[in-house]
Structure 1
Amino acid sequence: MRDARFRSRLRLPVIGAALILVGLAYAVLVPNGAAGADGPQSQQIEQGRKLFAVGCSSCHGLHAEGSTNGTGTFTAPSLIGVGAAAVDFQVSTGRMPAQQPGAQIPKKTPVYTQDEIAALAAYVASLAPGPAIPPESAYDVSKATDEQITRGGELFRTNCTACHNFAGSGGALPNGKYAPSLMATSPRNIYQAMLTGPQQMPVFSDQVMRPEDKRDIIAYVVALQQAKNPGGMGLGRLGPVSEGLWGWVIGIGLLVVVAVWIGARVPRVRHEPESNERN
């Protein structure tokens, strides 16, 4: 009986001590959890939430859940789980906020500053896990070798030319959509586009395409951006169609001009009326 009473009295202090030890261990191992409410990250997320409520919620919903029309079709997609990389790409290229709906949202001058873009990205990233903004080392191709550029060209021609053209000049897609030109796109945005698949582009996640493969493709695109036109005129780098069109217009046009010029210089022979000849 004494042992039973002793154990019952000892139970409460042991449980209390265990709870105290667990709390101390949690505080030591997760130091950022206690400081979360007033930390810099939380302040950035709160700033992003306010910016989102003013500039984005009218289309994407107050909680980024997306919006639909009367038929149930999404007019603006949900942003839950798209990640910070998607927000950084769309907003830094000026595609978002969209000026008006259409088959495809074009690139334009950004509306937000870089700090505001970072705050919006942090807020959307806090809603659910998604692709993070890649570090500069992921898309830095300043020291790319010729071998990497050549390999990137092979990957680009295999995966990208069907839409973006073999020279990255872009091209038309069905239903009024198009693949934009890559000639003025930054390496950061190219990487983020492959990572998130904006609009009509497929997603090239790290499971589909390795990060080093993405970097080699970026090296090839940057080489295209810096390359000079060997013929003097690029003609849009659209291939034999534009070259053949210009050859036809200029070549046939010159032949027509020469034919008209020759015809104008040939003297014309006048025929006298038959009545005058008989007289």
Structure 2
Amino acid sequence: MFTRTKNDSSTGTKKGRRSPLATATLILVGLLTTGGAYALFTSSATADTAQSSAVALHSQSQVNEGQKLFASNCATCHGLKAEGTNSGPSLIGVGAASVDFQVGTGRMPMAADGPQAEQKPTQFSQTQIDELAAYVASLAPGPAIPSSKYTDGGGNAATGAELFRVNCAMCHNVAGAGGALTEGKYAPNLQSVSGRHIYEAMVTGPQNMPVFNDLNITPQQKADIITYLKYIQTHQSPGGFSLGNIGPVAEGLFIWIFGLGAVVAMTVWLTAKSN
């Protein structure tokens, strides 16, 4: 015996039969739920692994000593657990590279509030800086201190010069002489900056500088940029007096004032002598 399926008088569809759209919707919801759960689990596992790796790079004694130094010198602005306050940003996730750059160049601790932290003599020994970096790195994953193979100037200077002109010269000048920015800020002179601090600045983006991660500029390309900067640090300008490498405006002004002035003075002298 066959059972008839009743038609729904209001919609014209058969009762007891599921719409094809409902099946597709259920499949889509299932895929989204499974994919989301997998992504969350993977990211959490990756973060835990990265944090464990960061801690493994430093001894527990370094972390403990760094925590003491942080509490006595940095917690006023950054909070006892580096969570940040109204006076300073959170340091969770900035990594050891950021600490090594900021403290190693004397920018931190800041002497006074201003448009940006200025470079000054360091207040800590390198051992203490390493301990502070170890403590901050233990809080969350972040950029690590770079290997010397990328910072010793052993890359391609010609490639580095091209990369520097494209990515950095608009602020730092093509010769790394620095330049003024808006609201009292400035791009610092790179003539005496170490390769290690240059690399750390690229991966952490201090002040107004953008972050150049390994997808933007690879580690080898960063090494090439450092090689170029080391080259211009050690080689004098082949054109003679460099005028501080501050660009064509200064050079043109020099020619107009001193060059044209010398021509006028020579003309007056020759005319007076003939008379």
> Structure 2 regions of 5+ residues with no counterpart?
1-51
Aligned mates of 1:151, 1:126 — CA distance in 2: 36
Paired letter, 1:215: A
Task: Look up the match of 1:51.
Answer: 69
Structure 2 counterpart SS, 1:176: coil
Aligned mates of 2:230, 2:266 — CA distance in 1: 44
Task: Look up the match of 1:97.
Answer: 109
Structure 1 residue 78: Cα displacement: 0.8
Paired letter, 1:203: V
* Segments ≥4 residues shifted beyond 3 Å: 255-267
Paired letter, 1:43: S
Match of 1:118 among 130, 135, 139: 130
Structure 1 residue 61: Cα displacement: 1.3
Normalising by structure 1, we get a TM-score of: 0.73
**Percent identity of equivalent pairs:** 53
Paired letter, 1:88: D
Cα RMSD for the two superposed structures: 2.1
Aligned mates of 2:243, 2:116 — CA distance in 1: 25
Task: Look up the match of 1:207.
Answer: 215
Structure 1 residue 240: Cα displacement: 1.2
Structure 2 counterpart SS, 1:183: coil
Count, aligned residues: 220
Match of 1:180 among 188, 193, 203: 188
| 1:170 corresponds to 2:178 | yes
How does 1:1-279 map onto structure 2 within 5 Å?
41-68=59-86, 75-142=87-154, 144=155, 148-255=156-263, 257-258=265-266
Structure 1 residue 243: Cα displacement: 0.7
Structure 1 residue 133: Cα displacement: 0.8
- CA displacement 1:98-144 (0-9 Å, x = unmatched): 100101111111110000000000011111111111121222224x4
Structure 1 residue 196: Cα displacement: 0.7
Aligned mates of 1:261, 1:62 — CA distance in 2: 73
- CA displacement 1:241-261 (0-9 Å, x = unmatched): 111111112123334545665
Normalising by structure 2, we get a TM-score of: 0.74
> Structure 1 regions of 5+ residues with no counterpart?
1-32, 69-74, 268-279
Aligned mates of 1:102, 1:113 — CA distance in 2: 25
Higher alpha-carbon Rg: 1
The 10-residue stretch of structure 1 (173-182 or 229-238) with the greater mean CA deviation from structure 2: 229-238
Structure 1 residue 262: Cα displacement: 7.1
